[in-house]
Amino acid sequence: MSAPTELIGILSETGKVPKRRLPDLDGEAFVELYRDMVRIRVFDKRMLALQRQGRIGFYGPVKGQEATIVACARAVGSTDWIVPALREGAIAMMRGLPLEFAVAQLIGNDMDLCKGRQMPCHYTWSKGRYVAMSSVIGTQITHATGLAMAAKYSERDEVVLGFLGDGATSSNDFHSGLNFAAVYSAPVVFVCQNNQWSISVPFSQQTATETVAVKAKAYGMPARRVDGNDVLAVLDVVGRAVGRARGGDGPTLVEAVTYRQLGHSSSDDPTRYRDDAEVKAWLARDPIARYRKFLDVEGLWDDERDTEFVDEVDGEISRVVREAEAAPPLDPRTLTSDVFARTDPRLEEHFREEHP
């Protein structure tokens, strides 16, 4: 087990990988990792544009963190659970959430599976075992632990991926969740996307420790610290942690060191608290551009295929946006459906009067 301060990486800055470190994947699998990341980025760009046009109210961009998201999604099985933080919504889509439902959730109309009750980007997809996220910092950590403990007690072959950001390591749930998970040897992998900023609070002010990974030592669980902009390294590290959990050896804390290239959300202006030089330095380590170099070196991708694929994804998103925007508003009666066994008669009367 590596020391929790060592940063594990596979991809070089030039896209080269030592043969002994090359994952056991075929050419199509390598390409699909790239397609997954590009799909996320194109969707991200389009949804942020919709917000700026006033067609949706809020959006949380993930630009710069695509490698960790994709690798984690590919590291687990279909029966495993995803308990997200804020920037893992693409995993729901990778696990089958139709794009039109994702866009409708941002709008909050009749097609929205959440019936307008959740904040935008807070998808839920029970068929894909993707639990709705919470904007409350850290609460999902204990949920992930509880879900994993239930799986263990029920003797189900399930592993839970519980996500958190660097800011969530300062929450009470971080201590409670990791402590319980370690004590009860729960089959959970905690993935901290350390993107250096908790809204406007830098990592240097979040903790006095050098890394997030080192905190695992206090709870008696192993930790790995991985280059979160290296999709192959994250796939390897998280895959091993998932295998360990599935084998009955308990939880692991994975710190994926990455960077949030844009604001915390569409409501945030990062230029007010971030230095341009810092942003430029991280842009040079962009996970998609870096992985594209690897594909080029291996002869698996080229500019023509890239252009065709981006156009294909962009066209698909345009289609689903049209479909989602054409859906009618929510029926006001959904305000109480799935909430009360029997709706208050006064509300029923109001619904009849307002919407006969």
- What does the alpha-carbon distance between residue 342 and residue 333 come to, in Å, rounded to a whole number? 12
133-146 as b/e: b if 16+ CB within 10 A: bbeebbbbbbbbbb
- What does the alpha-carbon distance between residue 183 and residue 22 come to, in Å, rounded to a whole number? 35
Of the chain, the end-to-end C-alpha distance in Å amounts to 66
Spatial strand order in the sheet of 188-194: 7-8, 223-227, 252-257, 188-194, 160-165, 81-83
Active-site position among 41, 225, 260, 290 = 260
The torsion angles phi and psi of 241, rounded to 5 degrees, stand at -65, -40
- What does the alpha-carbon distance between residue 321 and residue 232 come to, in Å, rounded to a whole number? 32
225: β partners: 7, 255
8: β partners: 226
Q: How deeply is 170 buried, as exposed, middle or buried, from its count of CB atoms within 10 A (0-12, 13-18, 19+)? A: middle
Active-site position among 21, 52, 273, 333 = 273
**Alpha helices, H only, 53-138:** 66-75, 89-94, 99-107
Please name which of 151, 158, 153, 47 lies closest in space to residue 99, comparing C-alpha atoms.
47
Annotated active-site residue 260? The verdict is: yes
Place of tokens 């709008």: 107
- Which H helix or E strand runs over 312? helix 303-325
- What does the alpha-carbon distance between residue 158 and residue 279 come to, in Å, rounded to a whole number? 38
- What does the alpha-carbon distance between residue 24 and residue 293 come to, in Å, rounded to a whole number? 19
Active-site position among 143, 224, 264, 290 = 264
∠ Cα 36 129 257 (to 5°):
50
Sign of the alpha-carbon torsion through 52, 55, 57, 59: negative
Q: Which residues are marked as active site?
A: 260, 264, 273
